[in-house]
Amino acid sequence: DLERNEAAADFAFSAPVKYINAVAFSPDGERCLLCAENKVYVADAETGKVLQTFAGHTDSVVTAAFSADGQRVLSGGDDRTLRLWDATTGKPIQVFSGHKGWVKSLAFSPDGKHILSGATDATVRWWDMETGKEVRQFRKQTESVVTVLFVDEGRATLSVSRDAKVRFWRLE
């Protein structure tokens, strides 16, 4: 309840975990992703009931997102990888490797063909989602990259690092 500055309801997440690093909602708002320990849980956004569990990361998962169509899930974390999952079956589709530091941020491109990642190795990486290959690497950040996002209809990206620097990168 925003008027009273109070929680409207508690979310009863049903998995037995010690901590949750991040949460993200599906485009339709019906499901949510919870990054907990080294797994990603898909839960019903209203009840908190676990619908699926994505296991494959070997260290903490700290970021995840649904694709714009809700059909894929991308996760990243302290094992220095990004993992692409089929949101319906839970099966792994692709592993993206190359970061030398923990992955802290990720994003799907608006056209669904590319992804971005930012990590503690102070790099932003642009990936081809289908092949899993790195398209380009951006290295002007001097500290950990904590946020990446596509802008200008996917033709550019912004990245933010721990030293409070915001960088604009043209992708074309």
| One-character DSSP codes across the chain | -TTTT--S------S--S---EEEE-TTSSEEEEEETTEEEEEETTT--EEEEEE--SS-EEEEEE-TTSSEEEEEETTSEEEEEETTT--EEEEEE--SS-EEEEEE-TTSSEEEEEETTS-EEEEETTT--EEEEE---SS-EEEEEEEGGGTEEEEEETTS-EEEEE--
Which pLDDT tens digit goes with each residue over 58-110? 999 999 999 999 999 999 999 999 999 999 999 999 999 999 999 999 999 99
- Does the model's pTM come out above 0.85? yes
Calculate mean pLDDT across residues 124-132.
95
Task: State residue 6's pLDDT score.
Answer: 72
